[in-house]
Amino acid sequence: MSIGEMLAATVPMARTLNLQFLETTPDKAVVSLPDQGAYHNHVGGPHAGAMFTLGESASGAIVLAAFGDQLSRAVPLAVRAEIAYRKLAMGAVTATATLGRPAAEVVAELDAGQRPEFPVSIEIRRADGAVTGEMSVLWTLRPTDQGK
């Protein structure tokens, strides 16, 4: 099962919005939100909440791609997120996520018994390439022996 298929199967909101996982590697995740009237806002574009979910889902996809081999000893958790809406989004939009730190650094901190944090940056674009939103999500890998 691909990361996109896994997220669609385990994250109900990704299924609800019909997110399409176009590319998922440890270096980049690209996720698309199709144009769907049911998720439009008052001006006919994707609702802010749908765009947030798109960006957060792209960040989750890259985290799983980069750190999936650590899941037996750590749980990835979003710590905080920020989004800035830059231009009016109309039609389908695509989010591209990139890691803000080398994965090897994060794993080294985990190996040292720490609870590493790392940022993921996301750009959301319209079909014409215009950036409609910028988002950052701070993630952590919580060692499973730290409890809940």
Distances in whole angstroms, Cα of residue 141 to Cα of each of 14, 67, 96, 124: 22, 9, 21, 25
Q: Are 140 and 117 in contact (CB under 8 A)?
A: yes
Q: Could you read off the pLDDT of 10-55 as tens digits, one per residue?
A: 889 999 999 999 999 999 999 999 999 999 999 999 999 999 999 9
The whole-number average pLDDT for the span 102-125 is: 97
Q: Which of 103, 137, 123 is nearest to 30 (CA)?
A: 123
The answer to whether residue 146 scores a pLDDT higher than 90 is no
How far apart (Å, rounded) are the C-alpha atoms in residues 66 and 26?
4
Torsion of CA 126, 129, 134, 137, to 10 degrees: 90
How far apart (Å, rounded) are the C-alpha atoms in residues 67 and 120? 13
3-state secondary structure of 147: coil
What is the tens place of the pLDDT at every residue in 53-90?
999 999 999 999 999 999 999 999 999 999 999 999 99
